[in-house]
Amino acid sequence: MQINGSIALVTGANRGIGRRFVEQLLAEGAQKVYAGTRRPDLLDVSDSRVVPLHLDLLDETSISQAAVTASDVTVLVNNAGITTGANLLTSPVQDIRTDLETHLFGTLSVIRAFAPVMVANAEGAIVNVLSVLSWVATAAGSGSYSVAKAAEWNMTNGVRVELAGKGILVQGVHLGAADTDMMAGNDGPKIDPVEVARASLAGIEAGAIEVLVDDPARFVKAALGGDPTQLYG
């Protein structure tokens, strides 16, 4: 599948990785990019190919309406997300549920809304922006997010299985940390968010179902088949 001439929808398009996806899609010749966000009035729409779209992962009505408005989508980028910073043992359970509702059920709801249109067109790509935390738990304060991303990762695999043979590429994108507002409190190495978009879109054109954007993602993925003390020792 080619990005040039495609019609894309990016969730969480107002900042960070989502914003860079919008910019990179336009740079690579996308015909139209629906920029999904809870606050479309705050979007930069200086390019006429950008179509602001109200979309809230926790609002089923907004998702259904978005699927009607953007019924011509061929590339769906599920980037929107949050982090509550919840610990698994001490934080309110509702915070953990919110992480799961957003990353697992919210993202799945978007896919369920748009998959029938893409299947009818017999062509398309679904991209889920995941994380190295899909595979490993790290510091305190990331446990809830890690659980939610792990669930989203295997949901990605399950959706891929269910769409097999229907002309839809389902891609999972993993990275350590990007220089975004969400990661502002993280002092570790961060990549430019545009690297995520470039790697993912190149992967779409290559037919890649998994994209490992940076060294942390590659290291953790390689370590999964070995002694877990490499990660937790």
CA distance 104 to 57: 10
CA distance 25 to 196: 12
* pLDDT score recorded for residue 233: 73
Residue 88 belongs to domain spanning: 7-232
Low-confidence ranges of the chain (pLDDT < 50): none
- Of 161, 41, 55, 145, the C-alpha closest to 109 is 55
- R_g of the chain computed on alpha carbons: 17
| 209 in any annotated domain | yes
* pLDDT score recorded for residue 182: 65
* pLDDT score recorded for residue 186: 66
Three-state secondary structure of 132-163: HHHCCCCCCCCHHHHHHHHHHHHHHHHHHHHC
* pLDDT score recorded for residue 81: 95
| 83 in any annotated domain | yes
| 1 in any annotated domain | no
- Which amino acid is residue 20, in one-letter code? R
* pLDDT score recorded for residue 223: 94
Asked if 191 and 178 count as a contact pair (C-beta separation under 8 A), the reply is: yes
| 125 in any annotated domain | yes
Three-class secondary structure of residue 201 per DSSP:
helix
* Total Cβ atoms within 10 A of residue 132: 23
* pLDDT score recorded for residue 166: 95
CATH number of the domain to which 203 belongs: 3.40.50.720
- Of 144, 159, 153, the C-alpha closest to 211 is 153
Asked if 110 and 59 count as a contact pair (C-beta separation under 8 A), the reply is: no
CA distance 194 to 174: 14
Three-state secondary structure of 66-87: HHHHCCCCCEEEECCCCCCCCC
CA distance 16 to 222: 27
User: How many domains is the chain built from?
Assistant: 1
* pLDDT score recorded for residue 225: 92
Per-residue pLDDT tens over the stretch 156-203: 999 999 999 999 999 999 999 988 666 556 666 789 999 999 999 999
Given strand 7-11, what is the order of strands in its sheet? 50-54, 32-37, 7-11, 75-78, 124-129, 168-174, 210-212
C-alpha distances (whole Å) from 136 to each of 130, 175, 196, 210, 228 are 12, 12, 19, 17, 10
What token pair was written down for 223? 């370590």
| 187 in any annotated domain | yes
| 2 in any annotated domain | no
- Which amino acid is residue 211, in one-letter code? V
* pLDDT score recorded for residue 144: 96
